Structure 1
């Protein structure tokens, strides 16, 4: 988690400076306190997934662009080397596999939900779509007050413009692969 925390701080400062923004302005755009933003930039804080989303949405950035180093021409990913971002006391884990690509306008994640996990994801914007494929277990997803249950091998696509909830109500881990597509990014 230390590497992710450090990279998040480096990237946040880089994006902020590149746009000529102060911490006060970023706090206003993101609804994250100036103190918290300063701690993140210095690598002193482990922000939640929700906080990272607030920053990404407020600055109109992809989630993964805040977490990872710029991609190389060939990327060989060893999943054991990827540090997850955790939520719900570690029951919800996000592994950024392929980070945002401005040409393709998408990013790719592996998501793990332990038994009893419930994660509320804030809206990501009008132009954002999520594509989810469940590879293991059962995922319960709530979108616009409608419940969806997906088992291994099933997939769903939806606009992520509203709050949505991921749950694992079973006794086994649920694992899914997720693509987040930023249309007109």
Structure 2
């Protein structure tokens, strides 16, 4: 896993870069992302390590993947991400966690995630930009997927896809650990 200080520095540099690339002022990015101007300043100055939700909101507003915001070195067309460089983005004391395995910007942001949800744990997400699609495959346990208030059971060996422009959540209401792989496709800003 990446060192937290290295991650904070990468996020600061990349947020500043992509904000400039998009021509967003601090105020315009704050309005687009629903994140305070002060928080963006703190992130760009590497004075804070924002929550996963804040990072996702900023990535969505910029039209880039979370991977791009956290990328500490731009590489060649083929990029191999060793296990130690995968980024753990969310975790609980019970042992649940998500790990961003790899992502790309072509033609729009595409991310590959590994998830573990311990019994009784869950994670909720705000709506993503229109056109965002999530695909997931449950390897163990039974995932309770809630999309726009509707609950769906996704047992081991089953896959699902949905348009993620509505609030959604992932829960483990069973007694067995849920392990799943998820891909997120985000439309390019344009």
Structure 1 unmatched runs, 5+: none
Query: What residue in structure 1 maps to residue 155 of structure 2?
Result: 151
Matching of residue 65 in structure 1 with residue 62 in structure 2 = no
SS of aligned partner of 1:165 = strand
Q: RMSD across aligned C-alpha pairs, in angstroms?
A: 2.3
The TM-score normalised by the length of structure 1 is: 0.86
Matching of residue 119 in structure 1 with residue 126 in structure 2 = no
Question: Does structure 1 conserve the Cα–Cα contact (< 8 Å) formed by 2:90 and 2:98?
Answer: yes
Q: Aligned partners of 2:139 and 2:83: how far apart in 1?
A: 15
Matching of residue 84 in structure 1 with residue 92 in structure 2 = no
Structure 2 unmatched runs, 5+: none
Query: What residue in structure 2 maps to residue 54 of structure 1?
Result: 57
Q: Deviations over 1:130-155 (max 9, x none)?
A: 00011222211011222112222111
2:26 to 18, 23, 26: 23
1:91 CA displacement? 5.5
Q: Aligned partners of 2:111 and 2:84: how far apart in 1?
A: 19
Query: What residue in structure 2 maps to residue 163 of structure 1?
Result: 167
1:45 CA displacement? 1.6
The TM-score normalised by the length of structure 2 is: 0.84
Residues 167 and 72 of structure 1, relative CA distance in 2, 3 Å threshold: same
1:157 CA displacement? 0.6
Question: Does structure 1 conserve the Cα–Cα contact (< 8 Å) formed by 2:64 and 2:105?
Answer: no
Question: Does structure 2 conserve the Cα–Cα contact (< 8 Å) formed by 1:82 and 1:96?
Answer: yes
The runs of at least 4 consecutive aligned structure 1 residues that moved more than 6 Å come to: none
